[in-house]
Structure formats: structure tokens, C-alpha cells
Chain A
Amino acid sequence: MPLLRRGGRAGLGLLLPLVLAAGWEIAVATGAASGRLLPPPSRIGATLWALAVSGDLWMHVEATLIRVGLGFLCGAAAGIVAGALVATIPALRWLIDPSLQALRAVPSLAWVPLFILWFGILETPKVLLIAVGVFFPVYVGVSGAIASVDRKLVEVGRIFRLSRFALARRILLPAVLPATLVGLRTGLGLGFLFVVAAELMGASEGLGYLLVDGQQFSKPDQIVAAIIAFALVGKAADMALVTLTSPLTRWQDTVRDSL
């Protein structure tokens, strides 16, 4: 019954876009609108289909996914290490946290010219830009989670005389896992945000390239197709992350309900 209700709600959410799409299709088909700047859904679908059949779509998706994946791995690893160090070593917190917080306030796109200057326009600056985007939410999530671990649960570990290592493994790690996963998830979302910026700075493949190409050659159907592909790939990556990590937070109701 709850499943049915949830399915019903999801269906309701689809209603508005479907109605709008059908309306637009009809408007263009009856000549009420030209559809030159925004092609009707059928043309966008056809473009997507053609891209998929020719294999181009998969090439672009793959290029984008590799960039996001690499940037995500680097940014997440750096964020976890930095967050853990800053949360556990007070001297480091006073030394580097203020600088990181200041850097976090810099709008991400402001890095683009600098990265291009430093690393050229090939893959390095793209991956790095994505890594920067992923780093901050993970860093903030991990350091905040470690700093707010319940002292009362740590005392349970002390009562049973856990070693430092056992305390970290059996109490700190599980305690910070949910917030870390939330940080990773936010980071992945930002990774997809940043890959667009990275690919706009010049790429010969990738979904971002499809956007630029569509703009330069006035192909709005290709732009919308790329946007849809971005949405689908981003959603799929997010769902994959959630599915892979949800066994780790099975014990927690709040995280799962908010996913």
C-alpha cells in the first residue's frame, strides 16, 4: 500500500512535464509555434535516438563519466583525509581550516582561467576543477561529523577498554559514516555541476561538448538532448552511489528517509 502510494506520487510528479511536453508537441504540430528555438519533444527524442544509435552518445557519456569519476575519487579522497586530520589534530585545525574555509567561498568558475593557465586545456584542469568541487562538501561533512561524535558513545568504548585503533574502527568510523556519505553525495552532485564548466572550457568530447557544439551550430535539439542526457546520467550516478552505500547505513532511518 505505501509502495502504491509512493508510485502514485512519482506518477503525479511526472504529470506536469508530460502535459507541458504534449502541449508543446501539439502547438508545434498545429503550427501555433515554430519550434525553431525549442524543438518539440519528438524531434529531441529523434536526435537522442540518432546519437545513441550512432554510438556518439555513449562516447560523450563515457568521456564525461570518466572525468567526473576521476575528479570525484581525487576530491573525495582528499576531502576525507583533510577532514579527518583537521578534526582530530587541533593544531592542524587552527592552521589550515581557516584557509580552506576561505577557499571554499571562492566561486568555483573563478578557478577556470587559472587552471587553464597552469595546466593547459587538456584533461588535468578538468579533473582538477571537478575534484575541487567534490572536495569541499566531503571535507566539511567529514570534519563536522568527527567533531560532533557523541562523547557518550565514546565513553562506552572506553568502558570496554578499546584501544585507540579499535575506538576509531568500532565507534568513530560508524558514527561518522552517515554524514560522510551525505558529503559524498553532495560532492558527486557538484562534480556533475563542475564537469559542465570543465567541458565548456574546451573539449572535443563529453556531454558538455555536445552543448557547446549545439550552441555554435544552432542545434537546439542537440542542446536539449545533452541536457536530458546530463540529467539521466547524473541521476543514475547518484542512485548508484546510494545503492552501493545504503547497506552501510541500514541502521539509520533518517538518512534513508531523506535519500
Chain B
Amino acid sequence: MAGSGLKWRAERGIVRRRDAHAMPARETPVLTVDDLSKIYADGTQALSGITLAVRQGEIVALIGGSGCGKTTLLRLIAGLDQATRGAVQVDGETIRAPHPSIGVVFQEPRLLPWLDVAGNVGFGLADLPRSERRTRVSRALERVGLAEHGGRWPRELSGGQQQRVAIARAFVAQPRVLLLDEPFSALDAFTRKGLHDQLLDLWAESKPTILIVTHDVGEAVTLADRVVVMRPRPGRLDETVAIGLARPREPVAATYEEAVRRVLAALDHSLRPAATKPPPTPETRASWW
């Protein structure tokens, strides 16, 4: 019975944990998360033994039920919060605080209301000479289709436009690693589709490594090379689904639908009681390398 389940999953591209988060050995990862745990001050264990490596230019989607620690993981990687145990490294450098190589797009746009759109996009470029800042900002605005809107106030933009400004603000600083926490969850499906295309366009330019949290399986399959499913209480990585489709991806294609089904199956598995799967032992935890 257990054997057939394994076979069933292997057939659908769902990989066992032992090598789930691994990658080709010759490539050194840009982002490594090693045995990361987080216990909040109130005793909540939000994350337990997260180990993950992401290579240059890879897009990884994190997916999982509410409260399984996705936001916590992103905040630890961003250096906004401190891990209880374990470490995050970007290009071999241990992250203890926000780092120039790491950009963040939050769930809400978080634009500064007292700066116009251009001011918001250029917020992180204060050290650059004015002329260079201006060219970079206007290029980024063009990329997200807001070239005409540089002089407007954030409050004059729609939710989707505001999130585009937030994405431009993150990209304009040219991060090596870009973290996005459910950046499109507040938007309608139509707007979301447009933003996926723009995100991929921006990504294609400088190929940053992207880690994106989402609740939307379609979004994960559209964007990601790899979908990592998380499991709650305490938050840990469950299964990884390799997508391996060429871009641009057409949601109507059979291969796309098949990938969606695989992610759904993995997600479904992660929502079942943990008893069907033994908790991670130290040996499996240290495994991916």
C-alpha cells in the first residue's frame, strides 16, 4: 500500500523529501536556507528545520495552508526577523539583517503616501546621482506599464497599479534574490494575469532568484520552476513539485493542467494529518546537500 502510494507520487513528479529540495550538484545556490527554525516570543513554533537551496535565476513558489509559516520564512530570509536556529545565506554571506542583495514585495503595496510614484520607485536609490536614479526609475516604470504615472500620488492608483509600483521599487534596486509574499492575492484574476506577465518580463531581464508565496495553484504553476509545499504546526517543507514547462506557459495546454493537478495532489497531501507521514528526523532534515 505504502509502496504503491510512492509509485503513484513518483509517476506524477512528486519527489520524496530526501532529495526534494536538492538541485544539480555542480551549481552553487544563490540562496541557501539551512535547518531554519523560528519560535516566536509567545512560544508559537512557526517553523521547524527548513532546509532549502535555490539556484541563480530560479523561481520557486511556496504554497501551503494558512498559518504554515510562509510569511515567517520570507521575513527570516529578508533579515526582518531573527531565526531561533539555523541560518540563511545569500551568495555565501549569512543574512542577519536586511541586505542589499535581497528585495522584498509585501502582500500590501506599502507605498509611502507622501512620495509620488517615481519617488516611491526610487526610494531605495537615494545614494545614486540624481540623473541615474531618474533614468532607472523611468525605465522601471515603463516596464510595469506606468510610464505616464510617475508624478501621481499612490492614493490615485488602483490596487493593481500600486502593487506594480511596489514591484518596480523592488526591481529597481537590482536584487539578487527577490522575495514576494502573496503579492497578488488582493487582486482580481484578470489583473493578476497581467501582473504575472510583467513579473516574468522583469525577471527575464536580470534573472534574479525569486521566491514567491502564493495561495493560488495556477499562479504557482504559471510562474515557478519548482513548487514547494509547506505543512503546518510546526511549519516545515513537505513535498516539492518540479514544473519544468517552457515559458510562456499557456493555461489551456494539457501539460499545464497536468502540472496543476500534481501541485493540487501535493497540496492535498500536505493538508492531511501528519500521522500518515513520519515527522522529519535529523537524518532526513540534513539531507538535501
**Which A residues are within 8 Å of any B CB, using their own CB?**
152-153, 155-156, 158-161, 166, 170-171, 174-175, 177, 251-253
Contacting residues, chain A, for B173 (C-beta < 8 A): 160
Contacting residues, chain B, for A252 (C-beta < 8 A): 113-114
* Complex Cα spacing A99 to B210, Å: 52
Known A-B contacts: A152-B110, A159-B104, A161-B100. Give 4 more (CB < 8 A): A153-B110, A156-B112, A159-B78, A159-B80
Which B residues from 164 to 198 make CB contacts under 8 A with A? 173
B123 in contact with A156 (CB, 8 Å): yes
Contacting residues, chain B, for A160 (C-beta < 8 A): 98, 123-124, 173
Main secondary structure of the interface of B (DSSP, over half): loop
B219 at the interface (CB under 8 A from A): no
Give the 6 A-B residue pairs with the shortest CB-CB distance, closest first.
Answer: A160-B124, A174-B114, A251-B114, A159-B104, A159-B98, A156-B110
A158 in contact with B112 (CB, 8 Å): no
Shortest CB distance A114–B (Å): 42
* Complex Cα spacing A158 to B124, Å: 10
Contacting residues, chain B, for A177 (C-beta < 8 A): 114
Contacting residues, chain B, for A251 (C-beta < 8 A): 113-116, 153, 155
* Complex Cα spacing A88 to B17, Å: 48
Given A161-B98, A251-B113: A155 in contact with B123 (beta carbons within 8 A) = no
Shortest CB distance B173–A (Å): 7
Shortest CB distance A245–B (Å): 13
Closest chain B residue to A160, Cβ basis? B124
Closest chain A residue to B155, Cβ basis? A253
A153 in contact with B112 (CB, 8 Å): yes
Shortest CB distance B273–A (Å): 35
Which B residues from 42 to 63 make CB contacts under 8 A with A? none
**Which B residues are within 8 Å of any A CB, using their own CB?**
78, 80, 97-100, 103-104, 106, 108, 110, 112-116, 123-124, 126, 153, 155, 173
Shortest CB distance B17–A (Å): 32
Contacting residues, chain A, for B112 (C-beta < 8 A): 153, 156, 171, 174
Closest chain A residue to B123, Cβ basis? A160
Contacting residues, chain B, for A253 (C-beta < 8 A): 155
Contacting residues, chain A, for B106 (C-beta < 8 A): 152, 155
The residue that B80 contacts in the complex, of A155, A170, A171, A175, with Cβ under 8 A, is A155
From B78, B99, B113, B114, name the one whose CB has the most chain A CB atoms within 10 angstroms. Answer: B114
Closest chain B residue to A156, Cβ basis? B110
Contacting residues, chain A, for B113 (C-beta < 8 A): 251-252
Closest chain A residue to B108, Cβ basis? A152
Contacting residues, chain A, for B115 (C-beta < 8 A): 251
* Complex Cα spacing A160 to B116, Å: 18
Shortest CB distance B26–A (Å): 32
Closest chain B residue to A248, Cβ basis? B114
Shortest CB distance B55–A (Å): 23
B98 in contact with A158 (CB, 8 Å): yes
From A155, A156, A171, name the one whose CB has the most chain B CB atoms within 10 angstroms. Answer: A156
Contacting residues, chain B, for A171 (C-beta < 8 A): 112
Contacting residues, chain B, for A159 (C-beta < 8 A): 78, 80, 98, 103-104, 124
Contacting residues, chain B, for A174 (C-beta < 8 A): 112, 114
* Complex Cα spacing A177 to B114, Å: 10
Closest chain A residue to B170, Cβ basis? A159
* Complex Cα spacing A68 to B70, Å: 56
A158 in contact with B80 (CB, 8 Å): yes
Closest chain B residue to A166, Cβ basis? B126
